[in-house]
Structure 1
Amino acid sequence: MTTTTAPSPVLEANGVTMRFGGLTAVRSVDLTVNSGEIVGLIGPNGAGKTTFFNCLTGLYVPTEGTVSYKGTVLPPKPHLVTSAGIARTFQNIRLFANMTVLENVLVGRHTRTKEGLWSALLRGPGFRKAEAASHERAMELLEFIGLAHKADHLSRNLPYGEQRKLEIARALASEPGLLLLDEPTAGMNPQETRATEELVFAIRDQGIAVLVIEHDMRFIFNLCDRVACLVQGEKLVEGTSEVVQGDERVVAAYLGTPFEGAPGADELAEVEAAEASGAQSTTSTEGKAQ
């Protein structure tokens, strides 16, 4: 006899709400990602997808609701979320342009390096061993994404599609149990998109659950086990690709056709402005921290 293990929840978002002043960008969203799953998050511009991602990864503190990873509620601090086991990429590539491909991946290893300040300054045996292990793991990841031969190249000199791959490798360097991808195929040609699809499948096959935002419907429906659609910050529908594609409300939302309870253009514009304002304040905070 063979026994099968039921998938266990990796991510559980319960009642996540995010308000910017009097504007609600995300409203009471529930979402679960199980082990071994690829889940997609879709929705028209201004739907609150990136705001929801930012709530999951600690960049925003949700106004209401909780986010749990493997049963433990996450603290609203990005570095603690990464340490717990969640990694992400961004819609706008955030590589260190003047660092090599290898150095960018090594940056992602810092949450898994246990050596302290004095060990690094004195460069003792423990530090050298950890450094060698990080280098070996970084090269394994570059081999995995097909960029080992460019380890010494500056990241700014990589073609766009390879920069996207490098950002994924840097996220994987933190050894996550869940990877969040924010529009990973944005700006890619069909060949690059197909390569990204194969890469995400390979990541899932390594035991890492994936949650992905994407505007390319062909990509998302080919890739995902389940898809959730947000409209004006609310989850409109969730299910298999077939269920979501066949939902008239989803079609209406993307075509701009009004349906009962649909947000108006002014409301959508307010949500987009709030998300942009939140992104700018996050970037400003990051700059000060650096």
Structure 2
Amino acid sequence: MTTDTTTFAAPRPAAPGEPVLEARGVTMRFGGLTAVRGVDLTVHASEIVGLIGPNGAGKTTFFNCLTGLYVPTEGEVRYKGAVLPPKSFKVTAAGIARTFQNIRLFANMTVLENVLVGRHTRTKEGFWSAVLRGPGFHRAEAASRARAMELLDFVGLAAKADHLARNLPYGEQRKLEIARALASEPGLLLLDEPTAGMNPQETRATEELVFAIRDMGIAVLVIEHDMRFIFNLCDRVAVLVQGEKLIEGDSATVQGDERVVAAYLGEPFEGAPGAEEAAEVREAEAHAEATAGQAPAEPTRDAVPGKETDR
């Protein structure tokens, strides 16, 4: 009898310039509300792409469509040419990892244990192996611990491997969440507001960390409200307004577009999509964030006063 039902190899590395993520016509409706409407987006290997937009633009809903938390009403999402399965754990196994705006760590587990959780999609040992604890189990466990420590060293947390996650400062909790995401050996990392609530020094450290991740050959798609961070970081930036992609291009192109400025100031412009649905889209995004919170266990951000940010 075998119970090894979840055995995955790490995804093959993508060649530089090869499309990693291809979203085509992604639409997400909640009843009569269209939160995301016909969005196309491509991310290539070793590329950093930003996704920005005012509150209620549909950014989190779009992220949830990419990561299997939602099945798009229309359109499709492909990773390295294959249509993604509509289950978040299968999306992770395929090679896509994400973080959340609201930090979701296991508060009462150690820093090392949190990263080991992220290794589950790359572990070959099944139920009986874990029960019997034979040589194969111990070899796999040692390999996972070694890799977890490498990642903690990469993000600067190796010295705190035995600390409880809840005792880390806010900025280090963010780093730990990124390390846990990297533990699944992704080809694409999705970061949802990685600098929310950070001071300038922490933001700069996060920027350097994202560049280092890109240099490892991992593509990055990032949502962020800090425009300076986004425009310094990204090769391309896409702008969502009321669930539709308004413009996509390099930082200079996006910053120079008068429609982007108008959207952030809340001013109407000709052809503005669905402005009357703004409040409903914000409500849908809040629901999406709450639903996503059912993934890992207890969030720890509540223990960090003054870090609440709005979408």
Higher helix share: 1
Please say if 1:271 is aligned against 2:281.
yes
Q: Secondary structure at the match of 2:49?
A: strand
2:237/2:248 contact within 8 Å kept: yes
* Counterpart-to-counterpart distance in 1, 2:119 and 2:149: 12
Post-superposition Cα deviations, 1:18-49, rounded to whole Å, max 9, x if no partner, equal: 00000000000000000110000000000000
The alpha-carbon deviation at position 284 of structure 1 amounts to 5.5
Cα separation, 2, equivalents of 1:186 and 1:11: 25
2:303 matched to which residue of 1?
none
SS at match of 2:146: helix
Tell me which residue corresponds to 1:200: 210
Which residue pairs with 2:3 in the alignment?
Answer: none
Identity percentage of aligned residues: 83
Partner of 1:124: 134
Structure 2 counterpart SS, 1:185: coil
SS in structure 2 at match of 1:45: coil
Match of 1:170 in 2: 180
> In the alignment, which residue of structure 2 is the partner of 1:14?
24
Classify the secondary structure of the residue corresponding to 2:212. Answer: helix
Write the distance in 1 (CA, Å) between the matches of 2:53 and 2:81: 27
Alignment partner for residue 91 of structure 1, among 101, 109, 114? 101
Structure 1 residue 96: Cα displacement = 0.3
Q: CA deviation at 1:261?
A: 2.7
- Structure 1 segments unaligned to the other structure (5+ residues): none
Counterpart of 1:221 in structure 2 is 231
Shift in Å at residue 277 of structure 1? Answer: 2.4
How many equivalent pairs are there? 283
2:242/2:274 contact within 8 Å kept: no
Q: Cα deviations across residues 3-23 of structure 1 (Å, max 9, x unaligned)?
A: xx7611000000000000000
Q: Which whole-Å CA distance do the structure 2 matches of 1:250 and 1:104 have between them?
A: 39
1:74 equivalent among 84, 99, 123: 84
Tell me the amino acid that sits aligned with residue 97 of structure 2.
Answer: A
Q: 1:147 offset after TM fit, Å?
A: 0.4
Structure 1 partner of 2:165 = 155
Deviation of the 1:108 alpha carbon: 0.2
Show structure 2 runs of 5+ residues with no match: 1-14, 298-311
Aligned partner of 2:214: which letter? R
1:239 counterpart residue number: 249
- TM-score by length of structure 1 reads 0.95
Aligned match for 1:59, one of 65, 69, 78? 69
For residues 174-218 of structure 1, the C-alpha deviation after alignment (integer angstroms, 9 at most, x for no partner) is 000000000000000000000000000000000000000000000
Q: Does the residue aligned with 2:184 lie in a helix, a strand or coil? A: coil
RMSD: 1.4
Q: Which amino acid aligns with 1:174?
A: S
Give the conservation status (yes or no) of the 8 Å contact 2:20–2:188. yes
Cα deviation, residue 267, structure 1: 1.5
Q: Is the 2:104–2:296 Cα contact (8 Å) retained in structure 1? A: no
SS at 2:50 equivalent: strand
Q: Cα offset for 1:281? A: 4.0
Q: Check conservation: 2:47, 2:214, Cα contact below 8 A.
A: yes
- Is 1:184 the counterpart of 2:194? The answer is yes
Which letter maps to 1:152? D
* 1:274 CA drift (Å): 1.6
Q: What displacement does 1:276 show?
A: 1.7
TM-fit CA distance, 1:266: 4.4
Aligned partner of 1:134 in structure 2 is 144
Give the CA deviation at 1:280. 3.0
Q: Which residue of 2 aligns with 1:103?
A: 113
